[in-house]
Each structure stands twice: as C-alpha cells, then as structure tokens.
Amino acid sequence: MSKPKRMQQRVWIIFGFAILIFMGSFYEPAPQNNSPAPTGGIGQLIEQRQSDVQIEVSGTVSRLLSDDNEGSRHQRFIIELASGQTLLIVHNIDLAPRIDDIREGDQVRVYGEYIWNDKGGLIHWTHHDPANRHPHGWIRHQDRLYQ
C-alpha cells in the first residue's frame, strides 16, 4: 500500500474514533437498581423483601399523614390495596404538584419505586426526575396526573 493511502486510512480511523467518542458522550446507561416488578406483583415483593423496584399499584387512600418537611418536602398517605396490604406513599412536593383535594376513601393509581420495610413498604419517586436518570413516576387521582 502506498504511503498516501496509508495516511488517508489512518485519518479515517482517527476520524471514526472521534465520532464514537463524541456520540458516547450523549450515552447515559439505564439505572441499574430499578428492575421491573416480578410477575407476582407487590405481594411477591413484600414476601421476598425486595426493594428498588419500579411498580404500579392501585388502592384506596386509608389514611392521610402530615407532610414530611425535613429536607425535600413530601406529602404522605397510606393506601390499601385490594389484597388488604397497605403501602405508604411518599410524594415529593418540591418536584411535583401537591394533591390538595385527596381524601380518605379516594382511589389512586401510583407508579414509583417500591422500598420494602417491616410494615409492608413504601413507594417513592412518584414524580418526574429533572436529571432524567431515574424512571419518571406519577400518581393518578380523580383523572388528574401528578408528576
């Protein structure tokens, strides 16, 4: 191979690597700690004491709690699932709208990250992630989406 052709080939190789490096700078790997819920649903998560799992549940608001105002502010309430299991919902109201008209007995649908505890667990990350590094969560109440 002639010297000019080898030089041209090297330039193309360097150019190709530069493009790969540039494109790689836009790549963000998916979070590793947020696996989908197993097929057994919330009951299996509780039984196996699993945490850091994205899950969607529906339930009835059984108790309204005071807001947690330490650090990021969170609206808190407990829902009861059809199975009778209860879950604490922890909704960040610094990142998502507060659900002002929520009442005991209301139906809600929640999508967020499940964390196991000895009382059954909680769901948080019920809001968008401004950094786009975590799956966006939400709460649906009376046909309105809070995220």
Does 74 have pLDDT greater than 90? yes
d(CA 13, CA 6): 10
User: Of 11-15, 87-91, 137-141, which range is least confident?
Assistant: 11-15
Of residues 117 and 50, more confidently modeled: 117
* Whether CATH 1.10.3720.10 fits 35-146: no
For the chain, give me the number of helices (H) and strands (E)? 2, 8
In the chain, domain spans: 35-146
* Residue the block writes with tokens 């339930």: 59
d(CA 141, CA 129): 20
**φ and ψ of 118, to 5 deg:** -70, -5
pLDDT per position as a tens digit, 8-49: 777 666 655 555 555 554 444 434 344 444 445 877 887 777
